[in-house]
Copies of this chain bind each other. A is one copy, B any other.
Amino acid sequence: MTRLTLAVDAMGGDFGPCVTVPAALQALASHSQLVLLLVGDPDTISSFLAKADSSLLRRVQVIPAESVIASDAKPSQVIRQSRGSSMRVALELVVAGKAQACISAGNTGALMGLAKLLLKPLDGIARPALMTVLPHQQQGKTVILDLGANVDSDSDMLVQFAIMGAVMAEEVLEIRQPRVALLNIGQEETKGLESIRAASAVLRASPQINYIGYLEGNDLLTGKTDVLVCDGFAGNVTLKTMEGVVRLFLSLLKSSGEGNKGKGTWWLKLLGRWLKKRMIRRFGHLNPDQYNGACLLGLRGTVIKSHGAANIQAFAVAIEQAEQAVRKQVPERIAARLDAVLARSDKA
């Protein structure tokens, strides 16, 4: 395996270097061919590197950046004021060919705007989309996009999302002829928004896409599709609703029985706790903390957005996602597939 260099926005996210630097060291320990460029305030970053193993430090480089983009900054202001920020410097390293991908837990709107400005969308892509891979009921995984990069997605964009999602499912999840569905509010062809119906007609006519029709919100985790395409608003709503309900269940599960102090014998309580732990483990793969990192697809380069509140383990997962996307040549493969499908639909 060849060497691979990734740029990490070390200052982004709710916790900054105290999460990103230990996560970077964890990723370096698991991937011997990985080199990481940590972008941000050198003093702060170095303090978190002080006790690291020298074999890891040989594969770390600190790149100075003087500012951080605020998590609540307005998208319109961000671009103007971004020069010298850790997020922008990390993206510029990818543009300059010094890194093959960039990972940030910072402001989503800023990352989307700057990535589009600096890395440029692929030919045939109007706007990049945020994509993640969700575990489902059948022990497999579903690619879902867009998750909120575009609040208003027209039919062309939905078709582009479908193509990008299908490439992800084939190349990264290694699913042959992945099933592709559109998120809608009913199964019948006449349902939903005009943009979705128009996208459905194009996908149905595309032999390169294994299009299976509409699915509804209740099928998010059932594994009925390998790729679920949504406009950014609905995608964000369905993902967050799912995460909210999963967290609620896990918290109810953890707290169940705790109000009954004094009731029952000690061995009954111990047994109850043991059974609860087993159940929580069973639901563990659905826990939002176990997967992290949405990939900004459709750019001439790889950009991974980590959840702002990611912990060390979760941010390390985001770094690994970047590593995988680069190795699998996701942007190049999406570009090639776009050419094929869009050429055909132009002729139709």
Contacts and interface: CB of A to CB of B under 8 A. Distances in A.
Contact of A237 (B75, B234, B272): B234
Interface in A166-214: 183, 185-186, 188, 190, 192-193
Contacts of A268: 271
A245 B220 CA distance: 8
A324 to B, nearest CB: 27
A313 B272 CA distance: 32
A233 interface: yes
A268 B270 CA distance: 12
A221 interface: yes
Contacts of A339: none
B217 A237 contact: yes
A325 B103 CA distance: 52
B232 A244 contact: no
Contacts of A238: 217, 237-238, 241
30 contacts: A74-B190, A148-B185, A148-B186, A151-B193, A185-B236, A185-B237, A185-B240, A216-B236, A216-B240, A217-B238, A217-B241, A217-B244, A218-B244, A221-B244, A221-B245, A222-B244, A222-B248, A237-B238, A241-B245, A242-B245, A245-B245, A245-B249, A246-B249, A248-B286, A256-B279, A256-B282, A257-B278, A268-B271, A272-B275, A275-B276
Given A185-B232, A252-B282, 16 more contacts: A148-B185, A151-B185, A183-B237, A185-B240, A193-B233, A216-B237, A217-B240, A217-B243, A217-B244, A218-B243, A220-B245, A237-B238, A238-B241, A241-B241, A245-B246, A272-B275
